[in-house]
Amino acid sequence: MGKGGGCIFSKKRSTLEAPDQDPPNPDRDAPVLSQNQTPAATTTAITVENSSSHEVKKLKVFIVFYSMYGHVECLAKRMKKGVDSIDGVEGFLYRVPETLPMDVLEQMRVPQKEDELPVISVDELVEADGLLFGFPTRFGSMASQMKAFFDSTGHLWEQQRLAGVPAGFFVSTGTQGGGQETTAWTAITQLAHHGMLYVPIGYTFGAGMFKMDSLRGGSPYGAGVYSGDGSRVPSETELALAEHQGKYMAAMVKRFAPPHSSVSGDSLN
């Protein structure tokens, strides 16, 4: 140790030698109370102070997506709003890496992506308490960019690092009957091999799932949007369904989480 000592025992001092300080005296060492303060009040104040310093950690839902023309991204952002509305849960938006070269994207007139949204790495997936994957369809299955991302999760699969994590899907298709259900359905194999828990939304959206008066993407498998030739914007019903899926997934994540992970009490009616 440096100068100033510390716990250095002296060979010349007996281990039975009395300490330099006076022995404890309960009357002398008791805390000084104010005129109107009781010992019980002091204990309560200390307890409250300690409990207030304990911060409850929020559960994390990662919304991981690929969006070429922005339709899936619109759903993802609205989905985050739904996740964040559930107390004790927070949503995080991530892109997956692009696999097409820049010159091909330019020929396809793909707009530039927002730099504010980070590109996720495979190893970051293990930090999530729940996962929502969004992607456009390619002949009834997920786009190659998302498939390449899943293909790179081999080391997580080998160790089953994602086993037991709740996960869901949301999609985009160009036409009616172009894969609103099959795009999500064919993606379930990815979750099965990782041991993740597939969480579809069923018909929990209520009356909005049965209306036939307007064009609407989405299915019991998850939220969805029709993109058409790329110029169609998502309808308010499609966005509302995405927000509902965010709320629903957040509630499921809370249900599956260990009791100490977050506060409980939220549910969907």
23-37 average pLDDT score? 53
Residues contacting 221, CB < 8 A, separation 6+: 169, 180, 181, 184, 185, 200, 201
Fold of 59-256: Rossmann fold (3.40.50)
Tell whether the model's pLDDT for residue 268 goes beyond 80.
no
Query: If you average pLDDT over residues 169-190, what whole number do you get?
Result: 93
Residue 99 has pLDDT above 70, yes or no: yes
- Is residue 39 predicted with pLDDT exceeding 60? no
> Of the ranges 9-18, 135-144, 259-268, which one carries the lowest mean pLDDT score?
9-18
Q: Give dist(CA 196, CA 181) in Å, integer.
A: 19
pLDDT of residue 214: 79
At a CB cut-off of 8 Å and minimum separation 6, what does 156 contact? 122, 123, 125, 126, 162, 194
pLDDT at 49: 47
E strands in the chain: 59-65, 89-95, 130-138, 141-142, 166-173, 197-198, 224-226
Share of the chain above pLDDT 90, in %: 59
Residue 242: what pLDDT?
97
Say yes or no to pLDDT of 21 above 80. no
Of the pLDDT bands very low, low, confident and very high (cuts 50, 70, 90), residue 259 is confident
How confident is the model over 142-151, as pLDDT tens digits?
A: 999 999 999 9
Confidence at residue 19, expressed as pLDDT on a 0 to 100 scale: 43
Residue 54: pLDDT over 50: yes
| pLDDT average, residue stretch 23-44 | 52
Q: Give the pLDDT mean for 134-140.
A: 95
Please state, in angstroms and rounded to a whole number, the distance separating the CA atoms of residues 11 and 241.
Answer: 77
Percent of the chain with pLDDT over 70: 76
pTM (whole model) above 0.85: no
Taking the domains of the chain in order of start, what are their residue ranges? 59-256
Mean pLDDT of the chain: 83
Task: Check residues 54 and 166 and name the one with the higher pLDDT.
Answer: 166
Q: pLDDT at position 228, please? A: 84
According to the model, what pLDDT value does residue 148 have?
97
The backbone region for 92, taken as left when phi is positive above 0, alpha when psi lies in -120 to 50, beta otherwise, is beta
Structure confidence at residue 212 (pLDDT): 82
Pairing of strands 141-142, 197-198: unpaired
- 89-95 vs 197-198, strand pairing mode: unpaired
Residue 209, pLDDT score: 87
Q: Given pLDDT bands bounded at 50, 70 and 90, which one contains residue 24?
A: low
